[in-house]
């Protein structure tokens, strides 16, 4: 087993992941074992505490997520494998925490207010709703931090995005429609992944906005494209109902 891992250690990690996807289960297990420190660190960043691989359930979630990332990864998407794996790990751990906290708080509230349930069911429901909103706010902040890192790959900052974003709703909707077109068209999507910019010449004849408008809103369009192409569950809510 050790020799097999050394044999492939000179290959790029993406190449090793590709071998795993082709059915190399021995290498799959070796990579999981080799990247346990990376997995623990990614999980720790979500949990905001030290993660003990021997006792913390969150670490098991991270291991499973890393394995899932290996099977789902595609270099065509434009991200390095470890960046992709880190995102998958964080998503899975966040989902686990959210589900676990919701279950525990619901049980706690039911126990705390058991004697009052018949008299104050609305208060109990409101308390649960408030807690859920607090969880959702935390997830949104985490997604914004991840989006900020992804924007840097496209040389876009949050600060300039707030300045150059379209001010009128119809302009924003048009930009979102363009971003959705880029994401849904495989050829255009690959262009953006590789070039880190939008193919304005290819878009001019396919959208209802002018070349000048595309140029002016290109960074905003890229930001929306990133939200669509990554697993930003909460930020995607912002786009629901637009251009559909």
DSSP string, 194-231: HHSS--HHHHHTTSSS-HHHHHHTHHHHHHHHHHHHTT
For 203, the domain range is 158-239
Q: Assess contact for 94 and 142: CB atoms under 8 A.
A: yes
Cα distance between residue 204 and residue 156, in whole Å: 23
pLDDT band at 35 (very low <50, low <70, confident <90, very high): very high
Of 49, 50, 13, nearest to 28 by C-alpha is 13
Question: Is position 185 within any domain?
Answer: yes
Q: For the residues 218-239, what does the mean pLDDT come to?
A: 83
**Whether the predicted pLDDT of 9 surpasses 50:** no
Question: Is position 99 within any domain?
Answer: no
Question: Is position 209 within any domain?
Answer: yes
Cα distance between residue 46 and residue 194, in whole Å: 29
Q: Assess contact for 28 and 20: CB atoms under 8 A.
A: yes
Give tens-digit pLDDT for 100-127.
654 444 444 444 444 444 455 555 555 5
Question: Is position 117 within any domain?
Answer: no
64 class by beta-carbon count within 10 Å (0-12 exposed, 13-18 middle, 19+ buried) = middle
Give the whole-number percent of the chain exceeding pLDDT 90.
35
Question: Is position 42 within any domain?
Answer: no
| CA-to-CA dists, residue 79 to 23, 53, 190, angstroms | 22, 27, 12
pLDDT of residue 224: 93
- 226 token code pair: 């990133």
- 165 token code pair: 């974003």
Question: Is position 80 within any domain?
Answer: no
Give tens-digit pLDDT for 142-172.
778 888 888 888 999 988 888 888 888 888 8
Q: Assess contact for 35 and 9: CB atoms under 8 A.
A: no
Domain count, the chain: 1
Cα dihedral across residues 203, 208, 212, 213: positive or negative: negative
Question: Is position 218 within any domain?
Answer: yes
**Whether the predicted pLDDT of 188 surpasses 50:** yes
Question: Is position 196 within any domain?
Answer: yes
Give tens-digit pLDDT for 38-78.
999 999 888 878 888 889 899 999 999 999 999 988 877 66
Q: For the residues 18-39, what does the mean pLDDT come to?
A: 94
pLDDT of residue 212: 93
pLDDT of residue 91: 83
Q: What is the pTM of this model?
A: 0.55
pLDDT of residue 12: 87
């Amino acid at each position: 087993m050790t020799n097999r891992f050394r044999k492939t250690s000179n290959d790029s990690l993406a190449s090793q992941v590709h071998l795993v996807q082709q059915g190399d289960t021995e290498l799959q297990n070796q990579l999981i074992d080799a990247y346990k420190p990376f997995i623990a660190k990614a999980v720790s960043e979500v949990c905001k505490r030290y993660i003990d691989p021997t006792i913390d359930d969150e670490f098991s979630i991270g291991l499973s997520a890393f394995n899932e990332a290996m099977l789902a990864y595609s270099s065509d998407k434009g991200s390095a494998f470890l960046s992709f794996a880190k995102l998958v790990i964080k998503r899975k751990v966040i989902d686990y925490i959210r589900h676990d906290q919701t279950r525990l708080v619901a049980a706690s509230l039911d126990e705390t207010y058991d004697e009052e349930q018949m008299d104050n069911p609305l208060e109990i429901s409101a308390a649960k709703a408030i807690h859920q909103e607090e969880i959702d706010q935390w997830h949104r902040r985490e997604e914004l931090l991840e989006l900020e890192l992804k924007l840097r790959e496209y040389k876009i900052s949050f600060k300039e995005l707030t300045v150059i974003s379209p001010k009128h709703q119809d302009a924003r909707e048009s930009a979102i429609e363009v971003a959705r077109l880029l994401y849904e068209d495989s050829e255009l999507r690959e262009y953006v992944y590789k070039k880190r910019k939008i193919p304005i010449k290819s878009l001019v004849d396919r959208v209802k906005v002018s070349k000048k408008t595309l140029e002016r809103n290109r960074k905003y369009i890229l930001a929306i494209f990133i939200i669509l192409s990554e697993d930003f569950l909460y930020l995607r809510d912002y786009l629901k109902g637009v251009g559909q």
